[in-house]
Amino acid sequence: MDQPSATEPDPEGSDDGAGGDAGGDRSVIRTRGLTKRYRGGQLAVDGLDLTVPAGSVFGFLGPNGSGKTTTIRMLMGLIEPTSGTARVLGRPMPRASRDVLPQVGALIEGPALYGFLSGRDNLVRYDAADPTADPRTRTTRVAAALDRVGLAAAAGKKAKAYSLGMKQRLGLAAALLQPRSLLVLDEPTNGLDPQGMREIRSLVRELASDGTTVFLSSHLLDEIEQVCTHAGVMARGRLITQGSVADLAAGARGRLVVTTPDTAETARVLKEQGVGDVVIAEDRVTSDPPDGELSDINAALVTAGVRVRGFAVERASLEDAFVALTGEGFDVAG
């Protein structure tokens, strides 16, 4: 890996003073007021202050069209921001692209592949294009990457015969040819079947346990909850919140769930007890958690003769947090 010069002057470094993170900054990605307005006038990304801690698996969550890919393309130096700054591995982008990008494995909106070449030969070409890659160890490196993503058996097939999931995994293999400080994956499970999604997720977990910071975008809430330690939530070009997944979910209140055959009576008692947002769905009655004692609610139900099969406060999910923050549901279809 080439040595980034520690003494290189950094004209965009002035934000370090204001941000107060000079030197000891442990963030791998950090943006300040990052904004992109496309030529047509579309404001795709609006004043993003994003902080991705080192060693995290950071889920960049948002419905389709919320600005995730545009942000990632700015982080990778592929497009210029309209205003604001982005630092990746502590260096300003896109100015330090030449030093930063060799340390970053990226998979953005479907990998560019040669359909007429085998999966293996596609990786050989990728590897050969990297001036820091030793040609003597190329075969081993390519085989290891193919193995890692589960494509060893299909390595000799032409890439155009690959399924979408296999293409996605081949793109991931290309990003894994070298050890990386950071992996940036734009919707890596998009278009995959459930089995393919599971494989990518376990791969991401495995990479993260090696200490690689992973930044992955997704429009799937449960995916972020399953894989990520941290998340940032995008809606209409703006970052609504960011933090650890546990903290984000804790910020949203859970739901009281009563499972009972006597739903109407349960709903009446809950309302009588001053509990808000009572909803009946089949054999369950859910509501906001009560302000007072949970046991008082349970006692009131029993006194009213309600047959209670289940009584619990369910933990808030990231989805609850999203709904609470945006006041709208999560638009999966985009």
> Any contact of residue 64 with ligand ADP (CB under 6 A)?
yes
> Any contact of residue 69 with Mg ion (CB under 5 A)?
yes
Number of neighbouring beta carbons within 10 Å of residue 43: 15
> Any contact of residue 70 with ligand ADP (CB under 6 A)?
yes
Name which position in 29, 44, 151, 270 contacts ligand ADP (CB under 6 A): 44
Q: Which residue's CB is nearer to Mg ion, number 45 or number 123?
A: 45
Binding range to Mg ion, per CB under 5 A, among 68-76, 92-100, 229-237, 306-314:
68-76
Could you please report the per-residue DSSP string of 119-147?
HHHHHHHHHHT-TTS-GGGHHHHHHHHHH
> Contact letters (x/-) for Mg ion, 293-322, by CB under 5 A?
------------------------------
Q: Which residue's CB is nearer to Mg ion, number 45 or number 321?
A: 45
> Any contact of residue 85 with Mg ion (CB under 5 A)?
no
Q: What are phi and psi of 29, to 5 degrees?
A: -130, 135
Binding range to ligand ADP, per CB under 6 A, among 40-48, 83-91, 92-100, 271-279:
40-48
Binding range to ligand ADP, per CB under 6 A, among 5-13, 60-68, 259-267, 319-327:
60-68
Name which position in 27, 69, 212, 218 contacts ligand ADP (CB under 6 A): 69
Name which position in 17, 23, 24, 40 contacts ligand ADP (CB under 6 A): 40
Q: How far is the CB of 64 from ligand ADP (least distance, A)?
A: 4
Q: How far is the CB of 156 from Mg ion (least distance, A)?
A: 32
Q: How far is the CB of 62 from ligand ADP (least distance, A)?
A: 5
> Any contact of residue 66 with ligand ADP (CB under 6 A)?
yes
From the list Mg ion, ligand ADP, none, partner contacted by residue 67 (C-beta under 5 to 8 A by kind): ligand ADP
> Any contact of residue 68 with ligand ADP (CB under 6 A)?
yes
From the list ligand ADP, Mg ion, none, partner contacted by residue 44 (C-beta under 5 to 8 A by kind): ligand ADP
Q: Which positions lie near Mg ion, rule CB under 5 A?
A: 68-69
Q: Which positions lie near ligand ADP, rule CB under 6 A?
A: 38, 40, 42, 44, 62, 64-70
